[in-house]
Structure 1
Amino acid sequence: MDPAILLILVQDGVVNGAIYALLALSLVLVFAVTRVIFIPQGEFVAFGALTYAALDAGQVPGSIWLLCGLGAASCLASLWAERHALSARRVLRLLAGTILLPGLVLGLTRLLLPLQPGVLVQALLALAIVTPMAPYLYRVAFRPLARASVLVLLIAAVGVHLALVGLGLVFFGPEGSRATGFSDASFTLGPLMVPGQSLWIVGLSLGLMLGLFGFFEFTLFGKALRATAVNRLGARLVGIATAQSGEVAFGLAGAIGALSGILIVPLTTIYYDTGFLIGLKGFTAAIIGGLASYPVAALAAIFVGVLESFASFWASAFKEVIVFTVIIPVLLWRSLGRAVVEDEE
């Protein structure tokens, strides 16, 4: 293989791996805090990408109506779940977070869209539209099942994934979309031509990872999330609101997924169901990390990205098979090294 081709493949693999690393970290975070294997993570990638593309085209994205619907459903679910301990202050907070917030986002979108605010403002708007959907989904679909087994939570996650794929088709249509990148510049590094958008992807990915590290290590809320991940019952006994921790974990996962979609939509065409395969590759990295180790999951994501890049070059028709086959030896190794658990609560 020519050295120039080798470097190009490694470059593509690292850029793709940076996205998979973000998704793997969010999957590990959600599973550690809530025990939910967040299969719909890929849908947030697609929703973020398509929402940003619609804003870039000067259109009100269909996802904003989905946000309003999920907000209303979340409000009703929360009112029902807390019906025995409601107060006027709690009701007002619920209405502000589930009804007023989507309304404000809708109004802000309609106000700014005719002004053609630029890619950074459009990206922030897309994040504001897509990110709240994740905690709303947690309140509607997962919080009522907080005491259920991991298997039940997995089944619920599959159901949410299927529902979101259908809703994506309804609100975005079957056509694919691309959008304007954050940078049109390109840089020459030896035989490599490095696009500016790739630098944005790697830079923001590294910055977000460092930000998450600082959040978990040095903030009180981050330490509360870590405590919930280590021992949910113990966290409740010392006064940590584990339900709120779940909402924060889902919110972070939604933001990471939406940002990943915004970063990749200038480089490739995204469809309403594209996120599933992207999310699965992040899930592959998370599995290699045991759904527990953030550094191992991040390194595994880079490996998955590089493996996919080389598989595309040597056997493009089988690249997905090659990538997902990596899970098999990892699962075999982990199954041989651990005792059998009949029922996990």
Structure 2
Amino acid sequence: MQNQFLLYGANGYTGRLIARMAKDYGLLPVLAGRNASVLEAMGSELGLSFQVIDLSDKEKLVGLLRSFPLVLHAAGPFVHTAKPMVEACLEAGTHYIDITGEIAVFELLKRTDDLARAKNIMIMPGVGFDVVPTDCMALFLKNQMPDAVNLKLAFASIGGKLSHGTATTMAEGMGEGSAVRLNGKITRVPLGHKGMWVDFGLKKLFVMTIPWGDISTAYTTTGIPNIETYTGASPKTFQLLKWQNGFNWILKLSLVRNYYKKKIKKMPAGPSDDMRAKAKSIVWGQVENASGQQISAIQEGPEGYTLTAISSLLIAKKILSGNFKPGYQTPAACFGEDLVMEIPGVKRRLVAS
């Protein structure tokens, strides 16, 4: 069936959202994951079939993937789960997309390019809010200024909150610092080593540097050698981080990280439907050339998890219809700067720098 794909991690917050919205896009996911009882309940509720599979069972996983043209991988943290799934996809000849935002994962999967081309399959991590809106912004600005040498990207949410999966990924990265792209190379820097105020159009917010996936993907998409990524944060948090060298070692302790993971599990799984409907995601970008000329743009759209579900389904539908490029790909490089504009409610415009 041309509209059928495997949705692994279907029982997670974002996986559930993707499964619920799939029929709106004419798609028929087969739910997959490790929790049989949850998958059975979801399948019954949504009228979808399911498969119970653990990523550690490679033989069974490859056998299952051979029955599908595409897997949408939604089970993080992807730094642990992406490698076994991609290796199985390469063996089975199955297209791979995921919703990661982790730099290390993008860099890891980039190295599968030759193998994926040989198999005539596409490997595209980051098909959700990480990194579709920012990747499209990066290419949009690059096309406005082809000689750009510096790129800044910032994003924030108005009225949203984190899911368990996102919060857990952040907990696993506690104390690890941040990264920028400097003269073409990924360079480690302290978390929040820079901060600034940004006018997003809807609101003016303080932002600080974080290790967002675009440090990897925006370079692949645009070739711009110097890239910084920012997100909304309180100025108080930014000031506190100036002392981080003194306590980062504590945050790296398994005891501390596990403590925060237990706290996360006690929280709601993610934003409610009502909260998602009212919330918005906002993105700002700026490019600069060697002469110091600058071009800036802003973009607004649906709440981040809503956007992730829509963008991942749009990309899945394109691939299933034969619209793909073999090898490792980034969303905007493959589908163009206006991919994000296909998402209902997205607006983008140039602004004064």
TM over 0.5: no
TM range (shorter): under 0.3
TM-score by length of structure 1 reads: 0.25
TM-score by length of structure 2 reads: 0.25
Q: Which has the larger radius of gyration?
A: 1
Q: Which structure: greater helix fraction?
A: 1
Q: Which structure: greater strand fraction?
A: 2
